[in-house]
Amino acid sequence: MPQIIFLPHEELCPDGQVIDVEPGITVCDAALQHGIEIEHACEKSCACTTCHVIVREGFESMEESDELEDDMLDKAWGLEPESRLSCQAVVADEDLVVEIPKYTINQVSERH
């Protein structure tokens, strides 16, 4: 059974968290099921970037993002080559190390 290792995030999981997951679950659903309240403003329909994460390890084990996800990711705050929308990132059979960025577009726009 693969694990998702969430790196510490100041608000959502200050100490980080390691969770066991079944292959086929999205990173977003796994986080929510384990009390990590990752934002998902579009209700996980791939229509925003609030659930943006960076997959620090295990990125290559997941299916590639599709064109819709790539278009959304282009709008994400702090985009990196290993960025994914957690609502679209499906866990395969390898462990993942996931970083939740400090900000989302929603949070940035609310502060300015």
> How does pLDDT run across 27-80, given as a tens digit for each residue?
999 999 999 999 999 999 999 999 999 999 999 999 999 999 999 999 998 999
> How does pLDDT run across 84-98, given as a tens digit for each residue?
999 999 999 999 999
Measured between its terminal Cα atoms, the distance across the chain in Å is 43
In this prediction, residue 108 has a pLDDT band, given cuts at 50, 70 and 90, of: very low
CA geometry: angle 37, 91, 63, nearest 5 deg? 125
pLDDT number for residue 103: 79
Q: Which residues, in sequence order, are bridge partners of residue 19?
A: 4
Q: Which residues, in sequence order, are bridge partners of residue 55?
A: 98
**SS3 label, residue 100:** coil
Q: What is the DSSP letter of 103?
A: -
19 with 3: CB under 8 angstroms? Answer: yes
Domains of the chain: 3-111 (3.10.20.30)
Q: How far apart are CA 24 and CA 46, in angstroms?
A: 17
